[in-house]
Structure 1
Amino acid sequence: MAGRNRNAQDETIATIATLAAGAAVGYGCYKVFKSIFSSEDTQQNRPISSSQSQPSRSSSFGSMLQSAAVAYHSAQNSDNLSIQPNDDDDYETHPQLVPFQRNSPYSFPKESKIYVVNTIEECRYAMRELKSHCDLYNVLGFDCEWVNKSQWEGGRQKVALLQFATHRGLCVVIRLCKLRYIPSELKNILMDRNIIKVGISPSNDAQYLCQDYFEWGDARDHIAGTLDLRYVANVAKCYDGNISLAKMANRYLNVILDKDISVRCSDWDASNLDNAQIQYAAKDAIIAIELFKHFAEIIEPTSLFGSNLSRLETILRKFSTLFDQEYDEDWEYK
């Protein structure tokens, strides 16, 4: 925005200078014309009373130059020119930005941040940025949150939150309970089988999303490309049992995930989420993508000569038969 303000200032200054120069040329032509075609006698025979006297042209021109100088000075010293936002500014569509609390010696991406999405417009904005990250690394951390019903009622309420996290540390927390519908930008991400969504039991989360927000078909008709992290850990020879995301994070990343039941079982449908809820939800998705990156480095170490995309393709080919599958504890990589 600061760059656009400076451009606007430069355009204002240039316009004022052009007008002043044009006025000066015009006034000079007027004086030449008057000296040729007018005579002093004519002027003397045209009496004008003081009450009918006209404003001096030279005075008007001086005033114009003075106004131009004032405008120039204002433009030079103004840091906040009023500029009407255009479509490219997305002035009122930015999601709520929440700093990511690391609370760990683990080296999370420097750009780590959280978007909390409450509206359709905010969702569209966030999905555009998310997609730009996926163009460089097509794997996302993936998770959902919902409210469990009481022990007497049993079951659960609709999925309230959907979380995505990119390799660059962007986490988008989408409050599905606040959206009127699922916008096409989000549907495209969910349905794109070339964007891999990793987590613990992601196919179950996909099934819940389908039940709650799509009127027909099963999860595979609307959500594609899920991959259970336990398969990735198995291929990296880092898997020794059916363990949780929190245990994986502690064992392989030295990160302690706070699974405080007061937050885990809190009201995810609340009018406003508090910071503890936001951080809890975001970390599950961020840890998922960081674990994938950790296991991927073991499976196919980064090379100084190969591209990241080709390396990632090589890794993902190992799981081509496991996408959108529930986890099988008896599966072994051969």
Structure 2
Amino acid sequence: MTSSLQVLSRYLTVFVTGGITAFVIARGLQKLITVSLTPKAFIKRKEKICLVTSLDEWQSIYPELSEACTSVRVVGLDCEWVPAQDGDVQRPVALLQIACHTGLCILIRLCKFPDFLPPTLSAFLADRSILKAGVGVKEDGSKLLKDYGIVLRGCVDLRHVLNRVRGIYKIRSPGLKGLSKSVLNITLDKSIFIRCGNWEADVLTPEQVKYAALDASVGVDIFLHLIVAKMTACKPTGSSLQKIYEPGFWKRTLSVCQGVVDVAYSYKQDRLLDSDGVGETSGKSRAKSVDVGEMSAAVRSYSTRQSPLYHNCKLQAPDGQQLCTCDEKKANWYIEKELGEKVCDDPLTVRLYFEPSGRPDSGRNYYLQDKENICVVCGHSNTYIRKIIVPHEYRKFFPFMMKEHSSHDVLLLCPPCHAKSSQYDSLLRQQLADRCDAPLDSGTGTRMRQDSDLHKVKSAAKALKQSRDKLPADRREVLEHTVKTHFGVMSLTEELLEKALDLDTRIYNSKYVPHGQKVVEYIRQREGLVSFEKMWRQHFLDTMNPQFLPLYWSVDHNHERLAQFDDQTSDHKC
């Protein structure tokens, strides 16, 4: 230790581990760790890690982060939290990692912050013009929103970018470890003892610091390598990597990422092409747990449509009074069933032969108005997704009368606005789960769980069926023993293998009640479902501030008609 360090020995802790030297300044001073994170530098740079545990420390490092993102507007991002134990509630994000191409890596210990976060941090994370690259980064954003109300925008999953860089890298596993090895030739230590360690500890271990910093740093490096590889059609070299500083680089980067920003990566197995053109099957590579409901919702929400939702065809009563607008398919159905006649083609207007069950009481009616096929939030008109204001998981448990005229609560959003709205909805779902004692469909509240013993038997039978001749003798013997023990036999036949393959490994929970059903029942008994429906509509207005809502769209839509009904179905009013 140098004499200068000896002078500061009472304030300074020094540790050396795994080839990484770090100096942590303690006793309330800013924590600054200088390290060499990667075997070979992406670009000649000075790498450092800043541990941030307070507002003042964040404010002192934020200008450097902001300056680093001036021209190369991308950071690597990752999150760490303490894994939930059996039956425990999942812990909030403890550590947020942000890494720049300059070598700066900021480890923000959210678990040590006061009740509120710096506005500059929230603004930085919500800035869609600054891309946040990583594996599963969209899911990290969902957890940040649920835990802290932080909106994360500009997310780019590295696997999306990889799918646009064909024939250059041979990727055997598209997780962060596999990408790092193939693209950067860096082997990440993904030890479960570090990954699932205590990220809320008073002092992080050197191994935790290195692990967390590398996860974010390799994220931004992989992203830039892939972008340069796409532009040059070959693996980047030291000279070609300098392209990131060229004037037109960022415009071309945004072009490569078009359509995948803030889009969750599909967790279904997909085919990735390696450098030899051989497809490698990849499964779920993210070690951290992701709520199944959030995952499936994220996948479904990005089924975009180019065809119009609103055709603005007209339906008329026998005397010519307009009843409503409808789509072309419904209008033609009345004609084909000889229930009405075509009056004109532009717009397609059908006059019914029979008296309808009800007529609009005035011209100021939502269902009489023509509606535009645009995003109701920002006005985007190229692609859009149907947004269900009151989620189906709740509405399907509503009484029939409240399910009528539900098209009022179906609006159009562009993909980015839909993604943002879905994040806010996830936060409200979690609040309802806590308030109504209605756990989301995970953990002990699942409809079914898997019998681990039966699953082992079935897996063993599958391995024997598909690869018996290729398995080592000792491994084959273990698998055969597993199946024979289950059936209590001495010899294994093909018939028994088939029987093992057909085993149902699921255990059904007879006491299971879906989250949506429990919430609806709770609200119905205490506040009434009209207030619940109004709450979701107001939630959409408050969180998204839509500027292009259809005329007469209202949070109180249809509530006068339902007021008496809701009184009858509410056992108690708060």
More helix by share: 1
Map 1:1-334 onto structure 2 (within 5 A).
95-102=30-37, 104-105=39-40, 107=42, 109-150=44-85, 152-154=86-88, 156-180=90-114, 181-214=116-149, 222-237=151-166, 238=169, 240=171, 243-301=174-232, 302=240, 308-328=246-266
Q: 1:306 to 1:183 in 2, by over 3 A?
A: closer
Secondary structure of 2:98's match? strand
Alpha-carbon separation, structure 2, partners of 1:313 and 1:191: 20
Q: 1:119 to 1:251 in 2, by over 3 A?
A: same
Conservation of the 8 A alpha-carbon contact between 1:115 and 1:171: yes
Alpha-carbon separation, structure 2, partners of 1:286 and 1:162: 12
Gap regions ≥5 residues in structure 1: 1-91
Alpha-carbon separation, structure 1, partners of 2:245 and 2:124: 24
Conservation of the 8 A alpha-carbon contact between 1:94 and 1:125: no
* AA matched with 1:161: L
* AA matched with 1:193: R
Alpha-carbon separation, structure 2, partners of 1:94 and 1:197: 29
Conservation of the 8 A alpha-carbon contact between 2:135 and 2:176: yes
Q: 1:157 to 1:137 in 2, by over 3 A?
A: same
Alpha-carbon separation, structure 2, partners of 1:109 and 1:305: 14
* AA matched with 1:192: D
Alpha-carbon separation, structure 2, partners of 1:147 and 1:306: 36
Alpha-carbon separation, structure 1, partners of 2:140 and 2:249: 28
Alpha-carbon separation, structure 2, partners of 1:303 and 1:286: 16
Secondary structure of 1:140's match? strand
* 1:140-163 Cα distance to aligned partner (Å, 9 max, x none): 00100000111x225520000000
Alpha-carbon separation, structure 1, partners of 2:70 and 2:88: 41
Alpha-carbon separation, structure 1, partners of 2:121 and 2:271: 32
Q: Could you tell me how far 1:94 is from its partner in structure 2?
A: 6.9
Conservation of the 8 A alpha-carbon contact between 1:137 and 1:309: no
Alpha-carbon separation, structure 2, partners of 1:306 and 1:163: 22
Alpha-carbon separation, structure 2, partners of 1:95 and 1:186: 18
Q: Could you tell me how far 1:93 is from its partner in structure 2?
A: 9.4
* 1:235-274 Cα distance to aligned partner (Å, 9 max, x none): 1224757621011111221111111221111110011112
Identity of aligned residues (%): 31
Secondary structure of 1:148's match? coil
Alpha-carbon separation, structure 1, partners of 2:165 and 2:176: 16
Q: 1:155 to 1:245 in 2, by over 3 A?
A: farther
Alpha-carbon separation, structure 2, partners of 1:293 and 1:108: 11
Q: 1:99 to 1:121 in 2, by over 3 A?
A: same
Conservation of the 8 A alpha-carbon contact between 1:109 and 1:169: no
* AA matched with 1:102: L
Q: 1:304 to 1:206 in 2, by over 3 A?
A: closer
Q: 1:107 to 1:228 in 2, by over 3 A?
A: closer
Alpha-carbon separation, structure 2, partners of 1:179 and 1:191: 19
Q: Which has the larger radius of gyration?
A: 1
Q: What count of residue pairs does the alignment treat as equivalent?
A: 235
Alpha-carbon separation, structure 1, partners of 2:74 and 2:90: 28
Secondary structure of 2:248's match? helix
Secondary structure of 1:267's match? coil
* AA matched with 2:37: R
Q: Greater RCO between the two (CA within 8 Å, min separation 6)?
A: 1
Q: Could you tell me how far 1:223 is from its partner in structure 2?
A: 1.4
Conservation of the 8 A alpha-carbon contact between 1:228 and 1:326: yes
Conservation of the 8 A alpha-carbon contact between 2:77 and 2:216: yes
Q: 1:184 to 1:245 in 2, by over 3 A?
A: same
Secondary structure of 1:97's match? strand
* AA matched with 1:283: L
Secondary structure of 2:92's match? strand
Q: 1:320 to 1:158 in 2, by over 3 A?
A: same
Q: Could you tell me how far 1:320 is from its partner in structure 2?
A: 2.2
Q: Could you tell me how far 1:309 is from its partner in structure 2?
A: 4.1
Alpha-carbon separation, structure 2, partners of 1:306 and 1:248: 20
Q: 1:256 to 1:124 in 2, by over 3 A?
A: same
What is the TM-score when the length of structure 1 is the normalising length?
A: 0.65
Alpha-carbon separation, structure 1, partners of 2:123 and 2:60: 14
Conservation of the 8 A alpha-carbon contact between 1:106 and 1:253: no
Alpha-carbon separation, structure 1, partners of 2:183 and 2:245: 25
Alpha-carbon separation, structure 1, partners of 2:230 and 2:91: 39
Q: 1:307 to 1:257 in 2, by over 3 A?
A: closer
* AA matched with 1:291: I
Q: 1:307 to 1:126 in 2, by over 3 A?
A: closer
Greater than 4 Å deviation, 4+ residue runs: 105-109, 239-242, 302-307, 329-333
RMSD: 2.7
Secondary structure of 2:49's match? strand
